[in-house]
């Protein structure tokens, strides 16, 4: 039996502001933006991902989600894309051993990361994984 993770709820205080960040800043695709009997449902999916996010206050305070991780096969390109979109993203870090800033010659596969926060303070990581064992 396969168990797949399909949706992560991201607690936010302002759905419109969060939608603009995830759609425009990160390039997530808007799957749904509808009003239901229980409120507004906004679901977005990162390019190429099988897992989506749903924005809303739900059961956690805005900004309390930490450590959600995206994976890319080219961290330098992803970092440049985030910067070009205006995302306040940290420098590329190498976490294989003592954490340190990456150099242009560092291989980043499995050890390269960048970190950023959404407008509410929810914390995200982006890791480079080109191949898995």
Give residue-wise pLDDT tens across range 55-90.
Answer: 987 778 999 999 999 999 999 999 999 999 999 999
pLDDT at residue 36, rounded to an integer: 86
- Domain ranges across the chain: 7-128
Higher pLDDT, 123 or 38: 123
Are the beta carbons of 11 and 56 closer than 8 angstroms?
yes
Percent of the chain with pLDDT over 90: 84
Q: Both tokens of residue 55?
A: 């924005």
- For domain 7-128, which CATH number applies: 1.10.1040.10, 3.10.180.10, 3.40.50.970, 3.20.20.70? 3.10.180.10
Q: What is the DSSP string of 33-94?
A: EEEETTEEEEEEE-TT-S-EEEES-TTS-TT----EEEEES-HHHHHHHHHHTT--B---EE
SS3 state at 23: helix
Burial label for 3, CB within 10 Å (0-12, 13-18, 19+), is: exposed
Nearest to 76 by CA among 108, 53, 48: 108
């Amino acid at each position: 039996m396969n168990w797949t993770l399909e949706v992560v709820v991201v607690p936010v205080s302002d759905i419109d502001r969060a939608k603009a960040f995830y759609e425009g800043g990160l390039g997530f695709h808007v799957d749904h933006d509808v009003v239901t009997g229980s409120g507004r449902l906004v679901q977005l999916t990162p390019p190429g991902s099988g897992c989506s996010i749903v924005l809303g206050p739900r059961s956690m305070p805005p900004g309390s989600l930490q450590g959600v991780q995206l994976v890319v096969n080219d961290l330098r390109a992803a970092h440049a894309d985030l910067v070009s979109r205006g995302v306040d993203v940290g420098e590329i870090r190498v976490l294989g051993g003592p954490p340190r800033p990456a150099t242009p010659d560092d291989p980043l596969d499995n050890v390269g990361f960048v970190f950023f926060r959404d407008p509410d303070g929810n914390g995200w990581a982006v890791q480079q994984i080109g191949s898995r064992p």
